[in-house]
Amino acid sequence: MIRAFGAAGLALILAFGAACGGSKDKSAANEPAPAAKTPPPGLETEPPPRAKVVALGDSITAGLGVFQIDAYPAQLQKLIDADGYNVEVMNAGESGDTSATALRRLDFVLDPNVKILIVAVGGNDALRGLSAKSTHDNVLAIVKKAQEKGIDVVLTGMQAPPNLGDDYANGFRQAFYQVARETSARFVPFLLEGVAGEPQLNQDDGIHPTAEGHKIIAGLIYDKLKPLLDDLANRTP
């Protein structure tokens, strides 16, 4: 009798304990999960996008015949990075571009982060014998459109091949000087200064620069670009 009672009592004790334990586990399961930790103020947002410098141009800007890393926009990026500016260079060169086609696609490359525009067109205008006036008008429209959006401009000039005659060559060259005067854009008189006519700095076609030629072009542009980068850095909080 005592042994039977002991076994029965033990069963009751175990059943009671299991019931209490089950009730405890069910209660824990119903407790709300702890709230997720929120990051400190200021850490939950992404950093603002980098300001952009856009190089608008033709096959020279696009880097025809060289690696992209050797084209002058990429060479400019190296100079910019070396001087510690938080700016991204975008290559918007398009082979075959004239001043007219560059004007037509301008809106597609001027997003809100573009702060500086490099205009390097006109070579194909001269090769096709287009009038100096049409080149002037198109380049002027490009520069003014950018400036109206608050974008600073570096304008590069171009020269016509000598076989087109002195009158055409002089008028074509002056078209860029005139735009520079009318807009007060930073001005590089000749994109290919020190490169054109130098066999070791040009590819076999005699038109498109080698990687070393692009490096010289980048240096020419950077001299005019750097003051704008300084001004941009001072304006950026």
Q: What is the DSSP string of 20-35?
A: HHHHHHHHHHTSPPPP
Quote the pLDDT of residue 38: 60
Of the residues 134, 205, 214, 231, only one is catalytic, namely 205
Given pLDDT bands bounded at 50, 70 and 90, which one contains residue 18?
very low
Report angle CA 136, 138, 144 to the nearest 5 degrees.
95
1 pLDDT exceeds 50?
A: no
More confident residue, 36 or 209: 209
> Residue 125: how many CB atoms within 10 A of its CB?
26
149 pLDDT exceeds 50?
A: yes
Pick the closest to residue 3 from 14, 11, 15 (CA basis): 11
Of the residues 59, 95, 134, 137, only one is catalytic, namely 59
CB-based burial, 139-148: b 16+ in 10 Å, e otherwise: bbbbbebbee
**What tens digit of pLDDT does each residue of 115-146 get?**
999 999 999 999 999 999 999 999 999 999 99
> Residue 168: how many CB atoms within 10 A of its CB?
17
Given pLDDT bands bounded at 50, 70 and 90, which one contains residue 235?
confident
Scanning the structure block, which residue is given the tokens 């992209």?
Answer: 68
Q: What are phi and psi of 63, to 5 degrees?
A: 85, 35
Quote the pLDDT of residue 29: 46
Pick the closest to residue 93 from 117, 116, 129 (CA basis): 117
Residue 81: active-site member = no
Mean pLDDT of 53-73: 98
Q: Which domains does the chain have, with CATH numbers?
A: 51-235 (3.40.50.1110)
Torsion from C-alpha of 41, 43, 48, 50, nearest 10 degrees = 150
68 pLDDT exceeds 80?
A: yes
Residue 59: active-site member = yes
**What tens digit of pLDDT does each residue of 195-226 get?**
999 999 999 999 999 999 999 999 999 999 99
Of the residues 25, 208, 214, 223, only one is catalytic, namely 208
Residue 208: active-site member = yes
Quote the pLDDT of residue 195: 98
Would you say the C-alpha torsion 71, 160, 155, 197 has a positive or negative sign? positive
CA 149 to chain centre: 17
Tokens of residue 217, six digits: 């072009």
Quote the pLDDT of residue 28: 46
59, 86, 141, 196, 234 from 49: Cα distances, Å: 28, 10, 28, 37, 17
